[in-house]
Amino acid sequence: MKRIISFILLAIVALGITLSLLNIPFGMPKTKVGEHYIKKGIQETGATNIVTSVVLNYRGFDTLGEVTVLFVSAIGLSAVLATREKKIAEKIESASLVLYTGCRFLFPLILFFGAYIFIHGHLTPGGGFQGGAIIASAFLLMYLGCRERRISEKRTKIAESLSGLVFIVVGLIGLAVGGYYFLSNFLPKGTPFSLLSAGIIPIIYIAIGFKVGSELAFIIDRLMRESE
């Protein structure tokens, strides 16, 4: 009986979603703001990646909120797990030689790729969040292959706090110098398609990359330590 009711409910929900989706004209611009970003984005922000110019310039304050959400979740996780501090097992079973060598070989390459993603965030697809996640997955690989290596908790905290400070200080300088909104671009825009362009956007994305990478690596470290 329960199953039949749930199936009927699901069917009603599916019908409602289908009917409402049928009326949306896909591919038609609904708002004017998107057109403005596409046409004037490069000229106004200097970033050739329009997604980046929206995320860090037009909607910079929202990005501060996103970064804060990640920060709060990392703090919450460490608060939950810190109450049960355990000693790390003395003898850790080491991985096989192939896995060990492969992980040690791949680790710097993945770090390099993550850094490339967030340094070129204003030119090519990707940015601080993606680069940070890639860097955290490099640390995850390290934890799988070379299990005796640990990241230093203190250093992740320092990297995380410093990059957060850089984000807020640059945003506040923009508020004071550049104009009337948070994260306004006060540095020269430079020529598009070159690495040193788009004013403060590369600085902010490098800060976000470090912040996200160290937070996710810290979360992975905490969970791995808890599982042993």
48 binds other proteins (CB under 8 A): no
Q: What is the dihedral of CA 121, 124, 126, 132, to 10 degrees?
A: -50
Closest to 56 (Cα-Cα) out of 184, 211, 166, 178: 184
126 binds other proteins (CB under 8 A): yes
183 binds other proteins (CB under 8 A): no
How many residues bind other proteins, per CB under 8 A? 19
125 binds other proteins (CB under 8 A): yes
50 binds other proteins (CB under 8 A): no
Pair of tokens at residue 92:
């850790």
78 binds other proteins (CB under 8 A): no
Q: Give the residue, chosen from 51, 111, 159, 162, that forms a contact with other proteins under the rule CB under 8 A.
A: 51
CA 7 to chain centre: 38
220 binds other proteins (CB under 8 A): yes
Q: What is the dihedral of CA 48, 50, 55, 61, to 10 degrees?
A: 80
- Of the candidate spans 7-15, 85-93, 135-143, 147-155, the one that interacts with other proteins by CB under 8 A turns out to be 135-143
Pair of tokens at residue 113:
């790729």
Are the beta carbons of 206 and 52 closer than 8 angstroms? no
Interface residues toward other proteins, by CB under 8 A: 49, 51, 117, 125-127, 129-130, 133-134, 136-137, 140, 216, 220, 223-224, 226-227
